[in-house]
Amino acid sequence: MTAPISVESATGSIYDLGYRGYEGPRLGRAHAIRSLFTHSLRSTFGIGRGARAKIAPLALGAMAVVPAVAFVGILALAARFGEGTSDLIEESSPFGYHTYFGTMSTFVILFCAAQAPELFGRDQRHGVLSLYFARALRRSDYTLARIAGFVTALLILQLFPQTVLFLGRVLLAPDVVAKIGDDVPSIPPILIQGLLSSFLLGGLAMAVSAFTPRRAYATAGIIALFVIPGIVAGVVAGIGSTDIGNVLFLLSPTSVLDGTNAVLFDIDFASEFFFIDLPDWSYFAAAIAGIVGSIAITLRRFVKVTA
């Protein structure tokens, strides 16, 4: 049974409501900052953007996690062959908490080079900055929210594979409780190294991309900044100048992170970097100086940039 159509509904007209004002809440600056942070985090992974914007971040993210997944898969296979096998595999495997930051560093650097210009470069290239700065935000709010979003993205990128590794190791172990006891002490170093790495690489990548609207320049600049100093340090030390080599080592972001990683996970560093002779604290000091410096430079840039 259909209801009979009344005269009113049949002849009901569509009213042009015209412009209506907004009388609801205005949440102001803090809300704008939070929203921009979320937007930056999502944009870094290409979420909320077209399909093409997702290719690079998702591909690099997948590459960063593939070794961890593969390792867990091997552990699962090994579990069928009895207890001894998986222990043997773990010992001989190149994939552990202490090596994984190094394993995925190439992908993290490429991720920085590909995605940092997406945030600052895009806003500058298309003149969007003046729309941001004309809103309930300060220039510094904009800058810090963008950096925080990118750093958080890097943190997720790097901690996700470590989580896969942890869950795989624990859940596939014959004695889960004992394995948790073994692995939990590794969590603080993982978190600290993850934070240092995300802030240092993220801060520097954002600083470089803040200075040019051109995407290609920013990408090249980021890769150069992350790769070249390490090579130079190695070469200089290799030809015998340990003192200069030491200084250059601390100027290379990736080398500094190798240093903090070695200290945090208590690895014998000297065997790999025989030419380096630096105190443990110097790596952390260099990392923190790099983080603070890069953020300060970026803030200064956006205070001055014309919009």
Identity of the residue, 35 or 163, whose beta carbon is nearer to another protein in the bound complex: 35
Residue 148 or 237 having the CB closest to another protein: 148
Is 38 exposed, middle or buried, given 0-12, 13-18 or 19+ CB atoms closer than 10 A? middle
Q: Which of 130, 175, 184, 238 binds another protein (CB under 8 A)?
A: 130
Q: Between 15 and 19, name the residue whose CB sits nearer to another protein.
A: 19
Helix, strand or coil for residue 9? helix
Report, in Å, the least distance between residue 147 CB and another protein: 17
From candidates 97, 101, 132, 226, binder to another protein by CB under 8 A: 132
Of 150, 178, 179, 152, which is closest to residue 165 (Cα–Cα)?
179
36 is an interface residue for another protein by CB under 8 A: yes
Q: Is 95 in the site for another protein (CB under 8 A)?
A: no
Q: Is 134 in the site for another protein (CB under 8 A)?
A: yes
Q: What φ, ψ does residue 41 adopt, rounded to 5°?
A: -60, -45
Taking CB under 8 A as the rule, does residue 55 contact another protein?
Answer: no
Among 73, 94, 127, 188, interactor with another protein by CB under 8 A: 127
- CA proximity to 203, closest of 300, 112, 107, 104: 112
Distance in angstroms (rounded) separating the CA atoms of residues 169 and 28: 46
126 binds another protein (CB under 8 A): yes
Residue 216 touching another protein (CB under 8 A): no
Minimum CB–partner distance for residue 207 and another protein (Å): 22
**Per-residue burial over 107-133, b = 16 or more CB atoms within 10 Å of its CB, e = otherwise:** bbbbbbbbbbbbbbbbbbeeeebeebb
Q: Does 302 bind another protein (CB under 8 A)?
A: no
Instruction: Give CA–CA dist 184/95, Å, rounded.
Output: 17
Based on the shown chain and the rule CB under 8 A, indicate whether residue 240 belongs to the binding site for another protein. Answer: no
DSSP 5: P
Q: Is 135 in the site for another protein (CB under 8 A)?
A: yes
Q: What is residue 272's three-state secondary structure?
A: coil
Q: Which of 133, 211, 217, 269 binds another protein (CB under 8 A)?
A: 133
> In 3D, which of 98, 213, 204 has the Cα closest to residue 151?
204
- Please state, in angstroms and rounded to a whole number, the distance separating the CA atoms of residues 116 and 63: 18
* Separation CA 125–CA 216 (nearest Å): 12
The nearest distance, CB 125 to another protein, in angstroms, is: 8
Q: Which residues bind another protein (CB under 8 A)?
A: 18-22, 24-32, 35-36, 39, 48-50, 53, 122-123, 126-128, 130-138, 306-307
